[in-house]
Structures are given as structure tokens and as C-alpha cells.
Amino acid sequence: MTTQAHRDESVWRPQSGFLAQIGSRKQLQSFNDTGGIAVSFDVVRAIPPEIHISGCQDDRLALWHTHAPSGFVSQPKFNADLVTVRIVTGGHILYRHRAGDFLGAPSFATLIGFDGIRQMEAAPGFSAVSATILVATLLRAQRALIGDETAALPMLEPVAEVESLSMKALSCTVMQIQRRMHAAGRHGDLLFPLLEEIMCYQLLSAWPARSPREVAGPADLSPRYLRLALSYVEANLTTPLTLAEIAAVAGVSVRTIQLAFHKEVGQSPTQFIIGRRLERAHRDLIETRSLDVPIAELARRWGFVHASDFGQRYRRQFGCTPTETRRQARQTAGRRDQPAAE
């Protein structure tokens, strides 16, 4: 991928398969020195590393699965025209980038270029499937996709919600290809070039592009640490959250986070979190695929253990009860299912 990479196999080398079970600092150093992948690893504070990595790579693409009970910090070994799409399945990862800080979590996939990464910090319990792709490979796919040999790559968002069907399809594709490569080996699967091409087309079709206004300069002047805190909250609405945890991810004090929420959002952090969870519960209540899921189960999914408390909060926010919302959603779904009058 770079001239340096081809000269030094400890930095990068094509591998039909690699597997590392890192359980000590000595093993960690050995993997960094001889593993032949594009990033180096370390651990936070004086804790023993526990990092499991498996994957494969060639000159155009690397696919791998990472599971790190200990968490880790990492950074690229060299500068190259590469981007990594990362589908997080557990924990979260924080990118320290010259363009800002970006958060990857189970609700948010990331697409980050190597150029500009200062450091990546994965929380304990982090797991993800990742694909690192040459920018030139994506450019060829973009030109083939739109039928224009002079087209440039669109400016894509660094973080994208994994909620739409197209994004879920991309996530499934990346994970399925990684599993297939792990089982068969990169060079043992004749379908690999086709699968790689399909993955690139899906990525370019599904991933949200940045608007010209965003590229020129965002109008959002809120502090970077607040945007990071908001992203973290959005990514972890189904799990218990504390102000200390949110502040730690954002890199500021609890008091600073509290003041920023009141000033920029107009609510306390707690009010904001409860409001967002109620909105997610409301969305589930009206979705056709969730109409048979008990309301109490949907409430618990978003952290509301007591039905009476959930009902009161829901009514204050939406002006009706969860039961009334569900009834209206069922009536609407029933009308859609009725055949048109002849």
C-alpha cells in the first residue's frame, strides 16, 4: 500500500490469514514488531493486555475481527491513502483525529481515513469487524457505479447511524465477508474480488455524504467535547449511563458537561437522556415489526423499569399514553393491509 510497506514486512504484508492472541506486554511488542498489519497497539495504564485479532489482507484490502477485553490504544504505523470502515459490535472506540474526535459504537459505524489519525482508544470489552480499503479502490468503484470515469469520491461522513436497511446490509456484508475469509483464507476463495467489489458499491451507496455546507465549515459552534458527549449518549441509550462516564469520554469534568448541556442543549444531561430514550421507545411503538412486542418489554429496552413511571413520562412528552400510540399504530397498519377498493 506504500513503498515503505513493501520494503518492511513488519509494517505491512499481504497475508492469507493472521491470528493473534495477545496476553502479555511481551506478546504485544512482538506483534507490533512482526505482525505485518498497518497499526500498532498499546494498553491504557498498567493493565495486562488481552487482545484477540484475526483476519486477512492483500495489497488492496484488509479485513479483520478485533475483540479486546482489556481495551487498547492504537495508531497507524504509516501515512497512506487508506480508509477503514468499522462495524462495532461491543463497547466503543474513540478516534483522536486532526479534524475532531469521532466515536464508534454499536449504533454508529465509522469511516475514517488514515491521514490525520492521532490515536484510537478502544474501551474495555471492545469488539468490531473492520475493513481497510485503498482510496483508489473506492474511487474505481465510484466511477463504475455512476458511469463516469472522471468522477471524484464524494465527501462521506466519518460516522453514520446503523439504522437504515442499506446501512444494515453493509454491516452484514462486511461481517459475512470477514467470516468467509477467516474460514477459507483470502487466496482460497475465488469469489473474493467480487465480494470486495460488492462491498465497495454498498458502502458508496449506503454511507451518508456530507453536504457542501458541512464540508466548507459546520455552523455548529458547540464545543467539540459536547458533540462527543452527545454522540456517546446516542450510541449507548440502551445501557446504563453515568455523568462521570460521559465526562470521561469527552475528556472534561462532570461540572463542565453539566454546564455545556444547560447552555447549548437547554436541558440537563439527565433530561436529555430520558427524552432521547422516550423518543426511541415511541419509534418502537409505532414500527410495524414491533406491534406485537409488549409495551413493558419495549419500555425496559430503553431503561424504563416501572410501567407507571414510563407511562407518565411518555404522556408528558407526547401528549398521549403508550397504549394509545400502539392502538393508533395498529389501526394505521390495518388500513395499509386492506386491499384497495375496486
Whole-model pTM above 0.85?
no
How large is the angle between the packed helices 192-206 and 165-184, nearest 10 degrees? 160
Is the pLDDT confidence value at 87 over 60?
yes
Range of the domain at 275: 224-335
> What pLDDT sits at residue 288?
80
Which CATH number does the domain housing residue 311 bear?
1.10.10.60
Cell of 44: 491504557
> What pLDDT sits at residue 6?
42
The pLDDT mean for the chain works out to 84
- Do 74 and 207 lie in a common domain? yes
DSSP tag of 153: P
Asked whether residue 342 is assigned to any structural domain, the reply reads no
- Per-residue pLDDT tens for 1-57? 444 444 465 566 777 778 899 999 999 999 988 888 888 999 877 789 999 999 888
Confidence of residue 207 (pLDDT cuts 50, 70, 90): very high
Which CATH number does the domain housing residue 32 bear?
2.60.120.280
Please tell me which residue, 150 or 59, carries the higher pLDDT value.
150
What does the alpha-carbon distance between residue 64 and residue 62 come to, in Å, rounded to a whole number? 7
- Do 133 and 281 lie in a common domain? no
- Do 202 and 228 lie in a common domain? no
What does the alpha-carbon distance between residue 178 and residue 193 come to, in Å, rounded to a whole number? 13
Asked whether residue 269 is assigned to any structural domain, the reply reads yes
- Per-residue pLDDT tens for 209-267? 876 544 444 444 467 888 888 888 988 888 888 898 898 888 888 889 999 999 888 89
